[in-house]
Amino acid sequence: MGATAMRCDVSDEAAIRQVIEDTEASFGPIDLFCSNAGIGAGMDLASPNEEWQISWDVNVMAHVYAARHLVPRMIERGGGYFMNTSSAAGLLNQLGGAAYGTSKHAAVGFGEWLAMTYKHQGIGVSMLCPQAVRTAMTAPPPGAKEGTLATSAAAADGMMEPEELADIVVEGLAAERFIILTHPEVLEYMRRKTNDYDRWIGGMNRLYRRLLGEA
């Protein structure tokens, strides 16, 4: 067993291809590819186009690039597995995070397409959809005592520690579940959303106003 660290701009297809090439040259065929990079830019309608674009490139296209260069190799070898990190925001959306919620929905959509298209050729896919996890992304901005509105909304059911998340991921991968949830409440929120979309949107709007201190 061994490990190595590599720098990679996941928004750059050539960089991802190089990581794949270097990894397989050093360690052999990749059986499981974990696509975990994410960015929380593009908070609202006033956010610049550049923030929307980098959100798309990191939160969606990084998964596409990895699959583009690994799926043919995996099929030739008899199969392989992708664990792509989205977010509970990819299922429920994200208050205070317009580009984040939008791009994370797209990430789930791509994972669905990947699984539907290649399952019969031995390609497995899991989408990790956590709520708030204690990382640099959920830490308060420099000089602030509290996190952003988006973090506050995501942490409504508690902030999970990375070690606990890792245990859930290992168990979910062993079971080959497509959706790996870290917070069981998310499943009930999904059911409420699909059962009555209009009521769910109304409830989310009330939560948004409450987080703003307006209700």
Catalytic residues: 100
Q: How far apart are CA 40 and CA 100, in angstroms?
A: 6
By the 8 A CB rule, do 147 and 138 touch?
Answer: yes
- Give the burial class of 91: count Cβ atoms within 10 A of its Cβ; 0-12 exposed, 13-18 middle, 19 or more buried: buried
What are the φ and ψ backbone dihedral angles of 80, each rounded to 5 degrees? Answer: -175, 180
H or E element that contains 186: helix 185-195
Strand partners, 181: 129
Q: Is 108 left (phi over 0), alpha (psi -120 to 50) or beta?
A: alpha
Torsion sign across C-alpha atoms 96, 206, 186, 92: negative
